[in-house]
Amino acid sequence: MPFPQIRPRRLRATHALRGLVRETSLTPADLVYPMFVAHGLDRREPVEAMPGVDRLSIAHAVDEAREAADLGIPAVLLFGIPASKDDEGSGAWDDEGIVQLATRAIKEASPETVVITDLCLCEYTSHGHCGVVRPDGVVDNDATLELLAQTAVSQARAGADVIAPSDMMDGRVGAVRSALDEEGLGETPILGYSAKFASAFYGPFREAADSTPAFGDRRSYQMDPANGAEAVREARLDIDEGADIVMVKPALPYLDLIRRIKDETSMPLAAYNVSGEYAMLKAAVANGWLDERAAVLEALTCIRRAGADIVISYHAKDAARWLR
Catalytic residues: 196, 249
Residue 259, φ and ψ in degrees, nearest 5: -65, -45
CA of 216: how far to CAs of 92, 128, 133, 220, in Å? Answer: 22, 10, 12, 10
Pick the closest to residue 36 from 209, 272, 210 (CA basis): 209
Q: How far, in Å, CA of 81 to CA of 97, rounded? A: 9
Q: How far, in Å, CA of 4 to CA of 10, rounded? A: 11
Q: How far, in Å, CA of 202 to CA of 204, rounded? A: 6
Say if residues 114 and 152 touch (Cβ distance below 8 Å). Answer: no
Residue 117, φ and ψ in degrees, nearest 5: -110, 125
Single-letter amino acid code for the residue at 14? T
